[in-house]
Amino acid sequence: MDDTLRGLDADYGSDLVQAALGVLVPGFTGTRLPEWAAAALEHGLGGLFLFGHNVASPADVRRLSQELHRIAPAALLASDEEGGTVTRLQQADGSDWPGHRALGQIDDVVLTRGVAAEMGAWLRDCGIDMVAAPVLDVDDTVDNPVIGVRSFGGDPALVIRHGQAFAAGLHDAGLIACAKHFPGHGATHTDSHLGVPTVDDDLETLWRRDLAPFAAVARAGIPAIMSAHVIHRALAAEPATLSAETIGLLRKELGFDGVVCSDALDMHAISHGVGRRRGAVLALSAGVDLLCLGNPQFPEPYDAQADTAQMVTALCEAVRKGQISGTRLAEAARRVRSLGTGRIQRAAAAPVGGTGPAEHGLSAARAALQITGKLPELSGGVSVRGSFGRGN
């Protein structure tokens, strides 16, 4: 990677290459920090996204994080940790914390904030900086294939209450909360990992149902919001991640001034449409600041090192050709750096946690959580909607 970066510096200039790297968060393979990633971090890479295949043990994640931050103190180690069905650090055995739907059913915001703070303290001790949560999608579609129990529920007011509480708990633990999936993935019938979801509801419905939770957390000062690869026809003709109109609504009408983070660009809604590199250019041009490149082992394996270099080249070429202004790229890179710098300050101010889930104080509350009533029987047996291997 050193030779590749030197070549990119020679072609485009080190300042432009550093800015392009600064808006990228790629995945990687293995459980140790790869040499190419270390070189990219030295050159300004925004951070890395951790997946289940990167986790051998919490101690290994902690060592990886320490090495990453030794090279680049403000870089971000991010992960999907929602509790319930979506976890990375505990993917082998399942999360020790209840998911959003269980918390929504109990409807105790003090408990929700406490669970998020407890989980966040453990994640922070493992070296995680940013968590792609809370899920603010209002579960409005019975056959939604990707949200389901990842949502707090179908009532926007309930999602607002618990979304704010969950984000506050992560903040209490010194973590960056990244709410998702703006402007809403709850009323879709398609999984954006596999296709392009569309929502045909009118603008009044979107404001009342889908946008309300994001407006609430934006007002509360959440530091990051993740865009969805979903087409809301009342807003734009393209997926939100690629839509200047939709990202502009988040900025101007919802008043959000934090980091806009893309959902993973290897999801089929992007990769099988405009393509990943063109998608990165369009997303940045639309107003997205931080580009999550995705999982190099799922759904289709690829070379994360080569892909990161190709993404840098695509962004630099786009600036050279006037498809993205240098000012827009620099603005995005500044926002990401500021997020990382703020992470250092938050982590330093957070209370010291324990070393594992068993030492945390809400184990009794978790043990009391139980589902009662009859689950719906579908063809092939009982089905509980959720996502065990996916996330974002």
Cβ neighbours for 331, distance < 8 A, ≥ 6 positions apart: 289
Asked whether the beta carbons of 285 and 299 are under 8 A apart, the reply is: no
**Unique residue bearing structure tokens 């790229």:** 329
Residues 216 and 280: their CA atoms lie apart, in Å, by 28
**Unique residue bearing structure tokens 């055995």:** 93
- For the chain, which domains are there? 2-382 (3.20.20.300)
Question: How much is the pLDDT for 300?
Answer: 84
Q: Is the pLDDT at 303 greater than 60, yes or no? A: yes
| 388 band by pLDDT with thresholds 50, 70 and 90 | very low
Cβ neighbours for 145, distance < 8 A, ≥ 6 positions apart: 189, 190, 191, 385
The C-alpha angle with vertex 99 and arms to 95 and 103, in degrees rounded to 5, equals: 140
| 345 band by pLDDT with thresholds 50, 70 and 90 | confident
Look up residue 256 and give its two tokens: 């959000």
Residues 195 and 218: their CA atoms lie apart, in Å, by 28
Asked whether the beta carbons of 261 and 224 are under 8 A apart, the reply is: yes
DSSP single-letter state for residue 207 = I
Residues 181 and 292: their CA atoms lie apart, in Å, by 13
Residues 120 and 99: their CA atoms lie apart, in Å, by 14
Q: What average pLDDT does this structure show over 70-96?
A: 95
Length of the chain: 392
Q: What percent of the chain has pLDDT over 90?
A: 81
Asked whether the beta carbons of 92 and 389 are under 8 A apart, the reply is: no
SS3 breakdown of the chain: % helix, strand, coil, rounded to 5? 45, 10, 40
Q: Is the pLDDT at 385 greater than 60, yes or no? A: no
DSSP single-letter state for residue 54 = G
Mutual angle of helices 2-12 and 304-320, in 10-degree steps: 0
Question: How much is the pLDDT for 369?
Answer: 53
Q: What is the pLDDT of residues 9-65, one digit of tens each?
A: 999 999 999 999 999 999 999 999 999 999 999 999 999 999 999 999 999 999 999
Asked whether the beta carbons of 102 and 95 are under 8 A apart, the reply is: no
The residues assigned a catalytic role are: 193, 263
**Distance linking the first and last C-alpha atoms of the chain:** 27
Residues 179 and 133: their CA atoms lie apart, in Å, by 5
Asked whether the beta carbons of 80 and 351 are under 8 A apart, the reply is: no
pTM over 0.95: no
Q: What average pLDDT does this structure show over 51-80?
A: 97
Largest CA distance in the chain: 65
Pairing type for strands 224-227 and 259-262 reads parallel
Q: Which of 296, 270, 283 is nearest to 195 (CA)?
A: 270
Question: How much is the pLDDT for 376?
Answer: 41
Q: Is the pLDDT at 240 greater than 80, yes or no? A: yes
Asked whether the beta carbons of 104 and 162 are under 8 A apart, the reply is: yes
Q: What is the pLDDT of residues 142-153, one digit of tens each?
A: 888 889 999 999
Question: How much is the pLDDT for 3?
Answer: 92
Lowest-confidence range among 175-179, 199-203, 342-346?
A: 342-346
Look up residue 111 and give its two tokens: 């408990």
- In which element (H, E) is residue 277 found? helix 276-286
Residues 95 and 83: their CA atoms lie apart, in Å, by 6
Lowest-confidence range among 13-27, 50-64, 82-96, 278-292?
A: 82-96
Q: What one-character-per-residue DSSP string does 212-235 give?
A: HHHHHHHHHT-SEEEEPS-EETTT
Pairing type for strands 224-227 and 377-378 reads unpaired
Q: What average pLDDT does this structure show over 200-229?
A: 98
Residues 183 and 225: their CA atoms lie apart, in Å, by 10
Mean pLDDT value across the chain: 90
At residue 180, the 3 state secondary structure works out as: strand
